[in-house]
Amino acid sequence: MSLTRPIRRLLAPILATAVAGSLVAATAPTSSADDGGGTKRPDIVGGTTTNTAKYPWQVRLHVDTNEGTALCGGAIIHSRIVLTAAHCLAGALGVTTYFGRDQASSGGVTSQPYGWITTDGYNASTFDNDYGLLFYDTPIPSAFKPIQIAGPAEAALWRAGRTAMAVGFGNVSEGGSTSPTLQEVALPIQPDSSCSAASAYGTFYRSSSMLCVGYPEGGRSTCQGDSGGPLVVPGDNGVWRIAGVVSWAEGCARPGKPTVFTRIAEPAMSARLVDEINEVKSNYGFLFPGTESAINILGSGAVPLGCAAANGAAASAAAAVGPAQQAAAKAAAALKKLKKQQKAAAAKLKKLKKQHASKGAIAKATKAKKAVDKKVKKGTATAAAKARALSAANTANSASATAARSACS
């Protein structure tokens, strides 16, 4: 696999293909925000200001094309590699990278990649496999930390129903202007059916390579200029993983029109990405000297945010069942013993009365029976309370176990 190089120092054939087809991707030259048919490219709508201290892997890209300069996002996934969207690099003549930039027009560190690739599986007409990689011949400054793509065993991080974060400088409204500051927005990951519905994107949405994200009611999402930026999901212990790459949408934050992200964490796709990186490494070994040749871009061992707490709560709930069982059993045994005493006291009193025993003996037996009756009443209440406590412990144990399964899987 050959790297596409900037025109000013071209060493390999240009591989990128011009974007074509009925839908327009999530980015465009800054001089154009609409294709005339109502299809926009994604940016942050309904977001809030953030910074690269929180998202140190976030990258701003200026992509020079024959049509102008396009704004895209990206993510550092290795000290020499940035992940972005393939359509951002289609027709690119040169790329300027801004690491650690919180303001649109200033700050951070500027760099140019040595070259880039788009995956061989990218289809510019359908946006299948919409990802590309930028490679650098000097290390990305260590202040800007890489983020790993969710690994094959970490699918629980990005299943439907999880909340993810999208970050970028894109338009703050459909047809509006780009943001002067880095923006973030929390977005729910939707089931594939939300995007494959006829009212959304129908058969244009392909669940094998695309991920459906956004609010059914609209109002918050990505927009023009956010293309190529990562969709990131949080895990326990401060871990973050990439689940997707901003790809395309109809409009910006429209009701019933979620944003479609490249399904980059899908094991088949991430495995292909790793193979492509290894091929570049084989052909351009000088880009990965020393320890930088160890390329581990896929995560492992991360669990969804709240999983550890849910497992802890489940463990505590399970541990409470045993003592509750013991307490209930002890109270039941004590009550059984008291009822035997009550039965014996009642039998004795009945016998004394039948034998016409003295008033003193009958009074004594009556008093003894009342004392036992009182103990039985108290023991019955205690046993019932312990039984209720056991039932509550079992219910809590079951609920906590269910919550833990939901939180962790």
Catalytic center residues: 87, 130, 227
CATH of the domain at 46: 2.40.10.10
Please check whether residues 225 and 351 belong to one and the same domain.
no
Domain endpoint, select from 305, 320, 350 = 305
Does residue 314 surpass a pLDDT of 60?
yes
Contacts of 189 (CB under 8 A, 6+ apart): 158, 159, 160, 161, 162, 163, 164, 211, 212, 213, 233, 243
Which residue range(s) make up the domain with 290? 7-305
Measured from the Cβ of residue 372, the count of other Cβ atoms closer than 10 Å reads 20
Cα separation, 213 vs 308, whole angstroms: 25
Please check whether residues 178 and 86 belong to one and the same domain.
yes
Query: Is residue 223 situated within a structural domain?
Result: yes
Please check whether residues 325 and 291 belong to one and the same domain.
no
pTM for the model stands at: 0.83
Does residue 10 surpass a pLDDT of 80?
no
pLDDT of residue 22: 24
Chain-centre distance of CA 268, in angstroms? 19
Please check whether residues 320 and 197 belong to one and the same domain.
no
Measured from the Cβ of residue 377, the count of other Cβ atoms closer than 10 Å reads 12
- Are 33 and 20 within 8 A, CB to CB? no
Contacts of 339 (CB under 8 A, 6+ apart): 376
- Are 99 and 146 within 8 A, CB to CB? no
- pLDDT, one tens digit per residue, over 335-353 is 999 999 999 999 998 998 8
pLDDT of residue 170: 93
Domain endpoint, select from 305, 327, 345 = 305
Q: Quick one: average pLDDT of 128-142?
A: 96
Nearest to 259 by CA among 271, 272, 250: 250
- Are 99 and 182 within 8 A, CB to CB? no
Q: Quick one: average pLDDT of 194-204?
A: 97
Does residue 179 surpass a pLDDT of 80?
yes
Please check whether residues 326 and 180 belong to one and the same domain.
no
Mean pLDDT of the chain: 90
Cα separation, 362 vs 185, whole angstroms: 83
